[in-house]
Each structure stands twice: as C-alpha cells, then as structure tokens.
Chains A and B, each alone.
Chain A
Amino acid sequence: MPKITFLTSDGQRSTFEIAAGTTLMQGALQHGIDAIVAECGGNSMCATCHVYIDDAVARELSPMSADEDALLDGAAADREPGSRLSCQIRVTSACEGLLVRLPDRQT
C-alpha cells in the first residue's frame, strides 16, 4: 500500500498507508483527517475535499476534468496551481511518498 503524507496548514505531518484503488479523499477520511470534509461524499459537487499536491505530480496522477476545474474556483481556501479535489484522485503505486498539503479551511 502506498505511503502518503498529509501536512496540515499548521504544520502537523502524518503518514498513512492507503490502499490502491481507493480515492485520496476516502483514504483521508478513513484515517480521521479532519481537514478533509467531503460533504458530497465524493460526487465531485462540493469542493470540500480540496488539497494541494505538487503540480507536476498531480497531472501525472489523473488529469483534471473541466468539472473539477470549475469547482476548484469556488473552493473556500485559495486556489493554487497544485489545487485538486482529493475525491477525484485514485491512489495507485505511483502515489508512494506523495505529500498532500491540506488547506486551512474547506467551507
């Protein structure tokens, strides 16, 4: 299982093994990461599962759909080049060692 590190906006770091095939959002919820809210349950409708990932890595993981792009414009925290919706990223072996930064708010 790929090891993924989450970094909160106040600098707390935690690393978890997340099963390939689940989404990054689901993995985060399973490990009790409060900074991911996921109000719509992964239906790509709420933008409350916003995360920051290195831009180049994110592109490689799974390309961004037009819907995701539009939703990110409405995310509560600032949008950055590496902004993604964690419910739209499926964990694969390529995620080993991934660093996921969490925004300071989701709503």
Chain B
Amino acid sequence: MSAKESLSAGSSGVHQVPLQEAVPLQIDPFSMDFFADPHPAHHVMREAAPVVYFPMWKTYGVARYEEVHAVLHDPQTYCSSRGVGLSDFAKEKPWRPASLILEADPPAHGRTRAVLSRVLSPAVMKPLRESFVVAADACVDQLLQRQSFDGIKDLAEAFPLSVFPDALGLKKDGREHLIPYAALVFNSFGPPNALRQRAQELSAPHQAYVQAQCQRENLAEGGIGAKIHACADTGEITPAEAPLLVRSLLSAGLDTTVYGIGAALYCLARYPAEWQRLRADLSLARNAFEEAVRFESPVQTFFRTTTKDVVLGNTAIPEGEKVLMFLASANRDPRRWDNPDQFDITRRASGHVGFGSGIHMCVGQLLARLEGEVMLHALARRVATLEITGPVTRAFNNTLRGLEALPLTIKAA
C-alpha cells in the first residue's frame, strides 16, 4: 500500500480537518462468505470510516450513502473509462472491447447515452406496457396451475425472457446464451478470483452468440435493437458503434431484471404482512419493486478510477486508484434511511442508488420498473398466499446478488 502511505496530508487544497488514512480492512468483498451474508460486513465498512481500503485487492472502498453518492456524481474525478470493474484499463487490456456507454466518460459518454436514453425513454415504454401485462398474466396463469415451482427459474427468469428479447428484436434461436453471457459480464467486474476465471473460461460460445445478435441483420424491424442501428443512418453514431450499443442492452438488460424480480419475490415471500398490504392495494406494485431494488440491491457494486489526487470524506486518495462503491450498503445506510433493514413497500425509496445515480444512472431503469411493476401487479391480483416450501439457495456472482433457487407454493385468490 505504498502509494497511500507516501501521500502526504493536504496534497490537494486547504482543509481545516486533518486528513485521515483510509482504514484498511481485512475483508474480502468478493469472497463466498461475504456473498453469503454481506450485511454484517457492510455495517463494519460503514462504521470503520468514510473511506476504507482493501489491501487484498489494492482498492479503496466507500460504503456510506454520502460518499457513494459523491463518487457517482463526480465523473471527472472518478472516471469510468478505466473500467467499472477492478481491472484498470490503463494497465490491462479489457477482456472484451470496452462498453461505449458504461465504460465511457464525458463528453464521449453523452453522445452514446443520448441514443440509449431515447430508445428506452418513457414515451417508448408506454406502448410496451400492454404486451408486458399480457405476458405477466400468462406467466401467472401457468404458475397457478402448477402451484409449486421455482420462483427463480419459472418466474424471475421466465417472465423477462418472455418479454425482453422480443422487445429488443432478437431471434428465437440461441437465447439460452443470454443469461450466461450476463453472468460472465457481471463476474468480470470482480477481481481475478475463481468466479471470474471460471466465467472467462466458459465465455467463448456466449460471446460469439452475442456478437452475432448485435448485428443489424439479426435484429427485427421495430425492436429496440433496430432503433439503435437506425441512429447510425442519421450519423448520430457510426455503423461500427451500433452493435456495441446493442451489446450493452444484452449485457445489462436481462439478468439484472431477473435478479430484480427475484429479489422482489423473495422479499414478498419472506414478509407476508407486506405481501398482504400489496394485495390490499395493487397500486403499490411499482413501489414494492422499487423498495426491493433498494433492499436487496441486485447490482451490489461498481468501481471507478481516480483521475487525480483527491480528498474524499477527509481521506486522501492518489490518482490512478480504484474506488469500489458499495451501492447495496449505501441503500441501507442508517445515516440516510429510517429503519434501513426493514422491507417497507410504502417507503419513499426515491434517492436509493440501486440503479446508480448521476450520468451513468441505469438507462434501462424504466424498462426494469415496467417489468417489475407489471409482474407484481399480476401476482398480487391473482395469488392469495406465497409460501417458501423448500431450501432457498444463493447464486454467486462478483457483482449481482440474488438466488439460484426459491421453491414456492402459491394459492389462488
């Protein structure tokens, strides 16, 4: 940790309060133990200091809401173009061509972001709603007939798979690659641990599929993918950029919502009083999903890289250092939230960072909310009880938090 120790206090600007050292922690935030239950460790990190340091992976970390928010809102100082995983693109070649949006900084980011914002805007969501409602109803119909099923495979995966690839305009063949590809992407933001290595070893067929599907000729007319390619006709982006922007949606648009809907289901099954509140007032469906995103934070972390020596929360961080933002911990920081560990579907969740914040805030958030709302609405309207009736198992991923299996039994209302 020599870079940190050699940094003398006050290296940037005048500060009344003496600078503190980032508190080193012997926690591995990418270990199986951590993933099994991150909340006690989040608490330790939040209480240790505004900025902590993980010698094991040579990265700084922020776990309080205030600092996470500050980093998210200062992209000039905390850049994304050196990668939003542990790997520093200034030192290591990215494992795939860098994302033109997620791993880009202003001003380049603004141009590509404008394209994706437009194809995923509120106005685009309106006409999608109806078909999503029909698909959600069909999914619940099926589950009511079965009564007992796996809430992850048969619901959290099945529903987004029945709407998202079609909305994008993907071919029917090969869709089974989508979830493994996303798991690979999200594992790859982590350190070179077994999860990342294994995902990389198995990556070739998934990468080949995704690369092919991003091409214009493979995307159906009228879909979101085709709309992105159409922006190359107007010169807003180049023909070479269009497939990479489609790739962003294939990477970030499916598995995240699987984890998000899985989170909501797991919360509602664990807190029956909240489930009954939802049944009594279906207009709470959208906020219930939002609260589940806060409470479980399906996307747990992202990194930034410092572009200069900087002081954050009284701690000096040198240029060229990775900073790990614990979104999940910020979403339960008692400095920001009342009763943060309580799942409350009427909570004012506005301001949570489960979708990030600032210029990189999730460009697909409206689509995610639409899926979540419509699914919870369909369930709560037709299902009386939601019971966990088997062993719940966790899925392990370096960035995503969710379940592998959630055995459920439901009864019709």
Contact = CB atoms under 8 A, between A and B. Distances in A.
Contact of A39 (B118, B123, B125, B365): B365
Given A39-B369, A40-B361, A107-B286, A46 B351 contact: no
A70 interface: yes
A63 interface: no
Interface in A75-107: 75-76, 107
Contact of A40 (B121, B123, B348, B365): B365
A24 B369 CA distance: 24
Given A43-B361, A45-B117, A107-B286, A74 B351 contact: no
Interface string B113-128: 0000110011111100
B118 A70 contact: yes
A38 interface: yes
Interface residues of B, number: 23
B290 interface: yes
A38 B355 CA distance: 13
Of the four ranges (under 10, 10 to 19, 20 to 34, 35 or more), the interface on chain A belongs to 10 to 19
Nearest to A87: B350
B71 to A, nearest CB: 15
Contacts, number: 47
B115 to A, nearest CB: 12
A47 B122 contact: yes
Interface in B348-389: 348, 350-352, 355, 357-358, 361, 363, 365-366, 369, 373
A64 B390 CA distance: 54
Interface string B123-139: 11110000000000000
A58 interface: no
A76 B290 CA distance: 18
Interface of A: 29, 37-43, 45-47, 67, 70-71, 73-76, 107
26 contacts: A29-B350, A39-B290, A39-B350, A39-B365, A39-B369, A40-B355, A41-B350, A41-B351, A41-B352, A42-B351, A43-B357, A43-B358, A43-B361, A45-B117, A45-B363, A46-B365, A46-B366, A47-B122, A67-B117, A70-B123, A71-B122, A73-B122, A73-B123, A74-B124, A74-B125, A75-B122
